[in-house]
Structure 1
Amino acid sequence: MNINTKSTLLTFSLMLISAFAGWKGHSLFDKGIDSQIISRSEAEHLTEDWGKLIVYTPEEGTETFGTKNTLTAVAEIKPGQQIHPPHQHTAEEFIYILEGNGTWSMKGEETDLKAGDVMYAAPWDWHGLTNTGDTTLKFFVVKWDNKGVETPTKR
């Protein structure tokens, strides 16, 4: 087989694979979760030095219709602890305080937090929280990257 024939066959094969991936790829490779109820007992329970993390949907590989890398979890932070120092990432994130009090860190500024408060962090905004109270601080977190929306430039 001469080089032109090999090149033509290779090009044609790649075109067929590409066409198939575009036609059937979504249904074959989509790992989105179905509508469901996840009980606390079914969630993954992790114990760390700072407290506990109950993961309902693990960040890595969890996709919904419009999101990817979707984390849903409950954190239980011991007094005087934090999961990690203020940080930034590509994902959007909501944190809802269930119990306790502490300190928010948002874009370099600190403010008090209490049960019922909500924090939203846009992509690349520095954020975090610390349990400065005498009891366990519990919060629910939803964190995700968007499908089909370009990640903003790092700030």
Structure 2
Amino acid sequence: MSLTEKPQSSPEREAYYEKIARQDFSALWNVLSDIITPTPRSACQPHLWEFGPAKQLLMEAGELITAKEAERRVLILENPGLRGQSRITTSLYAGLQLVMPGEVAPAHRHSQSALRFVMDGGGACTAVNGERTLMQEGDFVITPPWTWHDHGNESDTPMIWMDGLDIPMLSLFDASFAEGLGEDTQAITKPTGDSLARYGANMLPVDYEKKGLASPIFNYPYARTREALETMRQRDEWDPCHGLKMRYINPVDGGSAMPTIAPFVQLLPKGFKTAGYRSTDATVFSVVEGTGRTSIGGKTFEWKPKDIFVVPSWQEVVHEADADAVLFSYSDRVAQQKLGIWREARGDH
């Protein structure tokens, strides 16, 4: 028998299985090929969510429930293969959050790590552990685990961003904790831009002591990101599988900006088509700029700015840009690498 085969059944064997089941046992040889597979096997499916219809649904929700009443007014992006589980991949969560002008999403904290990727609007703010930051389209914002955070919108337009959290991971480990502050907003004790000034200029305070695994910078402005990508493209050094792809880092140690979620940004020049690529980290993509298409496991998805799509583990992905395109993405790659299980395959191998 191999890992892909199951033993044949017989009346004697079935009677034995019933006997051991009554004592809370089961036979490994009956399930071995299901739980140790030759290649990743997942219910996660490739899928694309268009932003236009999603925004319309969010605005309808804005008429039905307030941000305060909902705690967080969010539409979960449920993977079609994982319905009812609040997952976009087997290990990650994604949702689209709406904060209307004048609203506040109340302060709370939880053991889950969270990212915010701003999709639509500008001028709302997020406060994290006593510091407030303004949010503009394309900004990548971090809420480290167990930090107080609240969101407010003092602008005159609705604000929509994508939330990415490691909720399924913490559920796997039964390590979820959460609590509310009891106030809509937390006290602001630091000036706006304090963390970027302290940690975002290739410097650290002389007596800095690391207090957690997440980056001490919690807003990575898109204007700076885009400028870096544009400068780097002048070298004309394109990775066949990724174009020009960068990872957001923790400036303290050069590791991932988040302990369980790896965020990335990549530039695909007009007409660029990537070579086939597979990796074990199922990945969520958000289109920042440009138009094009992505083939996932042989199925093609056409995309435009603000659309979101997901690539399951170990399915070949090929991107093609009709115009200069920028893609933001996140996955559990950093967690897999820490565990020594991450794997990739470039090209046809």
Please give the TM-score of this superposition, normalised by the length of structure 2: 0.32
Q: For residue 81 of structure 1, report the CA deviation from its aligned partner.
A: 0.8
Match of 2:93 in 1: 71
Give the distance between the partners of 1:92 and 1:142, measured in 2 at CA.
8
Comparing 114-123 with 85-94, greater Cα deviation is found at 114-123
Output the CA distance in 2 between the equivalents of 1:62 and 1:20: 32
2:47 maps to amino acid = I
Please tell me whether the aligned partners of residues 100 and 133 of structure 1 are also in contact (alpha carbons under 8 angstroms): yes
Q: Give the superposition deviation at 1:76.
A: 2.6
Retained in 1: the 8 A contact 2:129–2:149?
Answer: yes
State the match for 1:138 in structure 2: 160
**Judging changes above 3 Å, is the alpha-carbon distance between structure 1 residues 11 and 137 closer, same or farther for their aligned structure 2 residues?**
same
Distance between the aligned counterparts of 1:60 and 1:91, measured in 2?
A: 19
Residues 1:111 and 1:13: Cα distance change in structure 2 (over 3 Å): same
Pick one of 102, 106, 111 that aligns with 1:85: 106
How far 1:129 sits from its partner (Å)? 1.5
CA contact (8 A) 1:101 1:115 kept: no
The equivalences for 1:114-125 within 5 A come to 114-125=136-147
Structure 1 gap segments, 5+ residues each: 1-9
More strand by share: 1
Contact 1:96/1:117 (8 A) holds in 2: yes
Superposed CA offset, 1:114-137 (max 9, x none): 222221122212222211111111
Q: State the Cα distance separating 1:139 from its structure 2 match.
A: 0.8
Cα offset, 1:60, TM superposition: 6.6
Matched AA of 1:85: P
What is the letter of the counterpart of residue 107 of structure 2? P
Q: Say if 2:78 and 2:85, in contact at 8 Å, map to a contact too.
A: no
Kindly provide the CA deviation profile for residues 45-87 of structure 1, in whole angstroms up to 9, marking residues without a partner as x.
Answer: 461224964321289724534x2xx4312223210113x3121
Distance 1:100 1:153 in 2: 31
Which SS does the other structure have where 2:132 is aligned?
Answer: strand
Q: Which residue of 1 aligns with 2:46?
A: 36
Match of 2:151 in 1: 129
Q: CA RMSD in A?
A: 4.0
Match of 2:244 in 1: none
Equivalent residue for 1:49, pick from 48, 53, 66: 66
> Residue deviations 1:21-63, cap 9 Å, x none?
9858859xxxx641321434589x4612249643212897245
Instruction: Please state if 1:61 is matched with 2:61.
Output: no
Q: Which amino acid aligns with 1:16?
A: F
Matched residue pairs, number?
139
Is the Cα–Cα contact under 8 Å of residues 38 and 56 in structure 1 kept in the other structure?
Answer: no
- Name which of 110, 115, 118 aligns with 1:97: 118
| Alignment pair present for 1:17 and 2:30 | no
Change (3 A) 1:17 1:95: same
Q: Distance in 1 between matches of 2:84 and 2:144?
A: 19
Shift of residue 14 of structure 1? 2.8
Q: How far did residue 144 of structure 1 move?
A: 2.0
Higher relative CO (Cα under 8 Å, sequence separation at least 6) belongs to 1
Provide the C-alpha distance between the structure 2 equivalents of 1:104 and 1:122, rounded to a whole number of angstroms: 13
Query: What is the distance in 2 between the residues matched to 1:61 and 1:121?
Result: 23
Question: Which position in structure 2 is the counterpart of 1:4?
Answer: none
